[in-house]
Amino acid sequence: MIRSPRVAVFADAAAVARSLARRVADAIRAKPTLVLGLPTGRTPLALYAELSRLHEAGEIDFSRVTTFNLDEFYGIPSDHPGSYRSFMRTHFFGRVNIDPARTHLLDGSAADAAAECERYERAIEDAGGIALQILGIGTNGHIGFNEPAPELEARTHRVTLKPETRRSNAALFGGREEDVPREALSMGMGTILQARAVVLLATGAPKAACVERVVNGPITTALPASFLQLHPDAVLMLDEPAAARLTPNS
């Protein structure tokens, strides 16, 4: 039986990052105009460091690569130090030779959020769709800012953030949870599932419980990442602590 998502377990977070960075490098070598979907958060930091290292070593040319980030806070300008635009500049875009015009993020200062979400969907379509979407996962099973809820949105949309999600982003706002915006704009589940390949990164013991449910549980809007079971080319790349609740055959 072909199971989705596939599961790949590595000794530690650094090994996960090295393996995915190699995959990204190979994909860019095969197609220099690759379209990547990217997450922010703590988990992908090791990946961005490794990709930057490979670029410095002359092994990856990002000059023709296009990127789309999953989400952005709503209600702050893109140059706000807590914005995901700023995060990406600090940890990745500012360290490689990517063309800033090819790095797409939702505009959290757009007056008309619905129009901004539509613009983003069109931009992804105009770029030919996302070839490889990289995801992190919240401990509540969210991907992008698609939070557990009775219903999920298919397309890019405006969301109200859960208290636990605002708490886990407090570091970007000087540790002050009350300064984390209450809303965000996020790709929808359909936007994510339309990527031709999806890689979900999860490292550390706090992710083990939701990883187990993503692999073995039912598909449910209470665990948005469970929808990856419907994707024909999705893989979970895990370190051992995040994989601790999986049995070898699960």
Each residue 65-94 as x (binds ligand F6R by CB under 6 A) or -, in order, gives -----xx-----------------------
Instruction: Find the shortest distance in angstroms from Cβ 39 to ligand F6R.
Output: 4
- Write down the catalytic residue from 142, 157, 169, 231: 142
Stretch that binds ligand F6R, among 41-49, 107-115, 150-158, 232-240 (CB under 6 A): 41-49
Q: On the CB side of 102, how many CA atoms lie within 13 Å of its CA?
A: 19
Nearer CB in complex with ligand F6R: 65/143: 143
69 part of the active site: no
91 part of the active site: no
Stretch that binds ligand F6R, among 40-48, 102-110, 175-183, 214-222 (CB under 6 A): 40-48
- Write down the catalytic residue from 80, 140, 179, 212: 140
Both tokens of residue 195? 């990527």
71 part of the active site: yes
Angle at 169 between CA 164 and CA 175, to 5 degrees: 105
Site for ligand F6R in 106-165 (CB under 6 A): 136-138, 142-144
Whether 70 and 85 have beta carbons less than 8 Å apart is answered as no
Tell me which amino acid residue 201 is: L
214-249 exposure pattern, b = at least 16 Cβ within 10 A, e = fewer: bbeeeeebebbbbbbbebeebbbbbbebbbebbeee
Say if strands 71-74 and 183-186 run parallel, antiparallel, or are unpaired: antiparallel
- Active-site amino acid positions: 71, 140, 142, 147
